[in-house]
Amino acid sequence: MTPEDAWALVAALAAEHRVAAWGATTLDRLRTDDFLLPTDTLSRLTHAVSLALPLLPAVLATLTDRPNRLYEHHYRQTNFALDRLGLALGRAIQDSGYAALPIPASQIVDWENQRGHLSHKRVAVAAGVGWLGRNNLLVTPAHGAQIRLITVLTDLPLPTSAPTRRDCGDCRACLEACPGHAIGETPMDFDHLACFARLKEFQRRRDVGQYICGLCVRACTGGRPTTNVER
């Protein structure tokens, strides 16, 4: 398969599933020694496809000062949709004679360190889907951080996308929105412990049944006006 045909295969699936943004990278552009995957498996795969599905602004608009059940349900359903997208893309790649390994959208495999098989965010940055924002989330030009991600590893010979040169610029909307005061000037300043303490508090109060919040997601439109969120 030519790189152009490989690109067209993924593009068709992305359009069918209403993907907000997607891109591809080679694995040698990424640090993979901390991927929680068998070395043999990784050695056979050369590329990663990163795909983002948008969250619905009307659901995010129901968040005020805490997460709620509507957001929790939407978060889970979006993860299911991402996993179905990963499966569909994996099958299409397999049918073309190549290998595909969809990585679950939200699955913890290292409970002590709260880590999945790999960082979807890190893959997305390398694949040019967006940049790492002050809120430590992947921020896309069109939807801000109001997306969720999935990764499919493959040996399909895809053309790669260049990482974006955009960044948060003058925007600091998420700093004001964060009830845990966890967000700083750069992603390096992000206070994971302060964020997690607030997530535990939300769960302890039974606002939601899992460690999610959504307030810095709601606040982030990638530096654009917030009219689509407030509607």
- Residue 216 sits in the site that holds ligand SF4 (CB under 6 A): yes
49: helix, strand or coil = strand
The closest residue (CB) to ligand SF4 is: 133
Identify the residue among 120, 122, 143, 198 touching ligand SF4 (CB under 6 A). Answer: 198
- Residue 144 sits in the site that holds ligand SF4 (CB under 6 A): yes
Decide whether 163 or 223 has the Cβ nearer to ligand SF4.
223
CA distance 224 to 231: 14
- Residue 139 sits in the site that holds ligand SF4 (CB under 6 A): yes
CA distance 182 to 190: 6
- Residue 153 sits in the site that holds ligand SF4 (CB under 6 A): no
The answer to whether the CB of 24 falls within 8 A of the CB of 50 is yes
Bridge partners, residue 110, by sequence: 115
Identify the residue among 92, 171, 208, 229 touching ligand SF4 (CB under 6 A). Answer: 171
CA distance 227 to 26: 37
Decide whether 102 or 180 has the Cβ nearer to ligand SF4.
180
Identify the residue among 13, 168, 208, 229 touching ligand SF4 (CB under 6 A). Answer: 168
The answer to whether the CB of 151 falls within 8 A of the CB of 138 is no
- Residue 125 sits in the site that holds ligand SF4 (CB under 6 A): no
152: helix, strand or coil = strand
- Residue 195 sits in the site that holds ligand SF4 (CB under 6 A): yes
CA distance 64 to 172: 18
The candidate with the shortest Cα–Cα distance to 105, out of 41, 48, 51, is: 51
Min CB(135)–ligand SF4 separation in Å: 4
Residues forming contacts to ligand SF4 in the complex (CB under 6 A) are 133-135, 139, 144-145, 168, 171-174, 177-180, 182-183, 195, 198, 213, 215-216, 219-220, 222-223
